Amino acid sequence: MKKITIAIDGFSSTGKSTLAKHLANHFGYTYVDSGAMYRTVTLYAMQHGLIDENNFDKEKLISHLKNIEISFIFNKALGFAEVYLNGVNVENEIRSLEVSNHVSKVAAVSEVRSKLVEQQHKMGKNKGVVMDGRDIGTVVFPDAELKLFLTASAETRAKRRFNELKKRGDNVLFEDVLKNVEERDYIDSHRKDSPLVKADDAKEIDNSNMTKEDQFEIAKNLVDKILESQK
């Protein structure tokens, strides 16, 4: 059967990765978490003292980009690919609130974007891929057969992220998580390069009052329809 490309975009903590992983497992596709790539570059910048609350040495980060190698290695037990920075597994570290607090500044740098988009193109060239992010349906794969745009209220999203961070054992305050969600929404939608916007041909799903299963059913049916029409 012919394989398609599925692009899932939306605001932070809208459940993109949950849906993307579920679809990838169901259809036997590869899941690519593009946000993990921006988070990994951010972690590198933090480790090298290039970014903190007050400063961001953008030029130095640009000059370091050639030293940053990001790879994904499938973890059978987890059922998805974990992200590696220069050969070191950073899957857990990149999910901290500290990385979240800096990532949107790093993701607004065009040189960072072009490096990562080039790698994303390579990962999706054979189709059979589900990629989630902010610009997948608009910039990375504008020809994707299915584009989904997920939304939910900021409160709902912050609650989801707060629970995730608590579950990991991170000591965070709900107000700080909500602030981060709102700040990232703003920066991601207002940056010059590849801002977060819904592609004209994307299907919008507001999942504020939906279960993960409801959302999966909607998306799965859309994929089935496309696959059926290609027969």
Residues found near ligand CDP in the complex (CB under 6 A): 12-13, 34-35, 38-39, 103-104, 107, 133-136, 184, 188
Residue 108 contacts by C-beta under 8 Å, 6 or more apart in sequence? 187, 191, 192, 193
Q: Which is nearer to ligand CDP, 192 or 231 (CB)?
A: 192
CB of 147 to ligand CDP, least distance (A): 13
CB of 35 to ligand CDP, least distance (A): 2
For the bound state, the minimum distance from the C-beta of residue 188 to ligand CDP, rounded and expressed in Å, comes to 5
Return the number of other C-beta atoms located less than 10 Å from residue 145's C-beta.
18
Residue 203 corresponds to which tokens in the numbers above? 């299907």
Q: Which is nearer to ligand CDP, 13 or 215 (CB)?
A: 13
CB of 182 to ligand CDP, least distance (A): 11
- Shortest separation between residue 211's beta carbon and ligand CDP, angstroms: 19
Rounded Cα distance between 158 and 175, Å, is 9
**Nearer to ligand CDP among residue 114 and residue 230 (C-beta):** 114
Q: Report d(CA 22, CA 79) in Å as an integer.
A: 10
Nearest Cα to 180, choosing from 192, 172, 171, 191? 172
Position with the least CB separation from ligand CDP: 35
By beta-carbon proximity to ligand CDP, the closer residue of 95 and 227 is 95
How would you write 120-132 as a 3-class SS string? HHHHHCCCCEEEE
H and E: helices and strands count for the chain: 8, 8
Which of 176/227 has CB closer to ligand CDP?
176
